[in-house]
Chains A and B, each alone.
Chain A
Amino acid sequence: MENKITSESFTIPMGPQHPALKEPGHFQFTVDGEIVTRAYVRLGYAHRGIEKAAESRNWVQDLYLLERVCGICSHIHSFAYCLAVEQLAHVEAPPRAQAIRVLVAELERIHSHFLWMGVSAHEAGFDTLFMYSWRDRETVMDILEGLTGNRVNYSANILGGVKFDVDDVQAASIRKGLDFLEERTNHYLQVLGKDAMFLQRTRGIGVMTRAQAEVLGAVGPTARASNVMRDMRVTAPYSAYRQFSIRMMLDSRGDLEARFQVRVQELLESIRLIRQILDNLPQGELSVHLPRRIPAGEAAVRLEAPRGEVFYYIKSNGTDKPERLKVRTPTICNLNSVIRLAVGHQLADVPMILAGIDPCFSCNDRMVTLADERDGSERLMTWSELRQHGIDFYKQAAK
Chain B
Amino acid sequence: MKEPNVWRDVMNGLKTWARVNSPWVLHFNSGSCNGCDIEILATLTPRYDMERMGVKLQASPRHADVLLCTGPVTRQARERLIRIYEQMNEPKFVVAVGSCGISGGVFQGCYNVMGGIDQVIPVNAYIAGCPPRPEAIIDGVVKLLASLMPAQRDARLPQVEQEKAAIQ
Cross-chain contact A71 with B77 (CB below 8 angstroms)? no
**Chain B, residue nearest A138 (CB):** B47
B46 within 8 A of A: yes
- Convert A366-381 into 0s and 1s, putting 1 for each residue whose CB lies closer than 8 angstroms to a CB of B: 0000000000000000
Give the dominant DSSP class at B's interface.
Answer: mixed
Would you list which residues of chain A between 256 and 291 have a CB under 8 Å from chain B?
Answer: none
Cross-chain contact A17 with B35 (CB below 8 angstroms)? no
B111 within 8 A of A: yes
Residue in B28, B46, B130 whose CB lies within 8 Å of A153: B130
Q: A48 vs B113: C-alpha distance in the bound complex, in angstroms?
A: 6
Cross-chain contact B39 with A48 (CB below 8 angstroms)? no
Cross-chain contact A50 with B131 (CB below 8 angstroms)? no
Cross-chain contact A131 with B45 (CB below 8 angstroms)? yes
Q: Which residues of A contact B74 (CB under 8 A)?
A: 44-48, 365
A389 within 8 A of B: no
Cross-chain contact A49 with B39 (CB below 8 angstroms)? no
Cross-chain contact A135 with B45 (CB below 8 angstroms)? yes
Q: A305 vs B69: C-alpha distance in the bound complex, in angstroms?
A: 27
**Chain B, residue nearest A20 (CB):** B59
* A-side interface size class: 35 or more
Would you list which residues of chain B between 43 and 71 have a CB under 8 Å from chain A?
Answer: 45-47, 57, 59, 61, 71
Cross-chain contact A65 with B106 (CB below 8 angstroms)? yes
Q: A132 vs B47: C-alpha distance in the bound complex, in angstroms?
A: 10
**Chain B, residue nearest A119 (CB):** B41
Closest approach, in angstroms, between the C-beta of A167 and any C-beta of chain B? 24
Residue in A16, A50, A115 whose CB lies within 8 Å of B110: A50
**Chain B, residue nearest A17 (CB):** B28
- Convert B104-116 into 0s and 1s, putting 1 for each residue whose CB lies closer than 8 angstroms to a CB of A: 0111011111000
Q: Which residues of B contact A44 (CB under 8 A)?
A: 74, 76
Whether A22 touches B31, Cβ cut-off 8 Å, given contacts A46-B74, A71-B131, A135-B46, is: no
Q: A158 vs B74: C-alpha distance in the bound complex, in angstroms?
A: 29
**Chain B, residue nearest A155 (CB):** B130
Q: A71 vs B45: C-alpha distance in the bound complex, in angstroms?
A: 18
A199 within 8 A of B: no
B118 within 8 A of A: no
**Chain B, residue nearest A118 (CB):** B45
Closest approach, in angstroms, between the C-beta of A345 and any C-beta of chain B? 22
Cross-chain contact A48 with B38 (CB below 8 angstroms)? no
**Chain A, residue nearest B111 (CB):** A49
Q: Which residues of A contact B106 (CB under 8 A)?
A: 64-65, 68
Cross-chain contact A16 with B80 (CB below 8 angstroms)? yes
Q: Which residues of A contact B111 (CB under 8 A)?
A: 49, 52-53
Cross-chain contact A134 with B42 (CB below 8 angstroms)? yes
Cross-chain contact A46 with B28 (CB below 8 angstroms)? no
Whether A22 touches B29, Cβ cut-off 8 Å, given contacts A52-B110, A64-B106, A72-B34, is: yes
Best-buried of A69, A71, A130, A137 by chain B (most CB within 10 Å): A71
A151 within 8 A of B: yes
Cross-chain contact B30 with A362 (CB below 8 angstroms)? no
Closest approach, in angstroms, between the C-beta of A306 and any C-beta of chain B? 12
Cross-chain contact A47 with B76 (CB below 8 angstroms)? yes
B84 within 8 A of A: yes
Closest approach, in angstroms, between the C-beta of A357 and any C-beta of chain B? 15
With A23-B37, A68-B33, A71-B38 known, 8 other A-B pairs at CB within 8 A are A17-B29, A23-B32, A46-B77, A47-B112, A49-B110, A56-B109, A74-B33, A74-B35
**Can you offer 21 A-B residue contacts whose CB atoms are under 8 A?**
A16-B80, A17-B80, A24-B29, A24-B30, A45-B30, A45-B31, A46-B71, A48-B113, A50-B110, A53-B109, A68-B105, A68-B106, A70-B33, A71-B34, A74-B33, A131-B46, A134-B42, A134-B45, A152-B38, A152-B130, A360-B34
B→A interface (CB under 8 Å): 26-39, 41-42, 45-47, 57, 59, 61, 71-72, 74, 76-77, 80, 84, 105-107, 109-113, 130-131, 133
A→B interface (CB under 8 Å): 16-19, 22-24, 44-50, 52-53, 56, 64-65, 68-72, 74, 115, 118-119, 130-132, 134-135, 137-138, 141, 151-153, 360, 362, 365
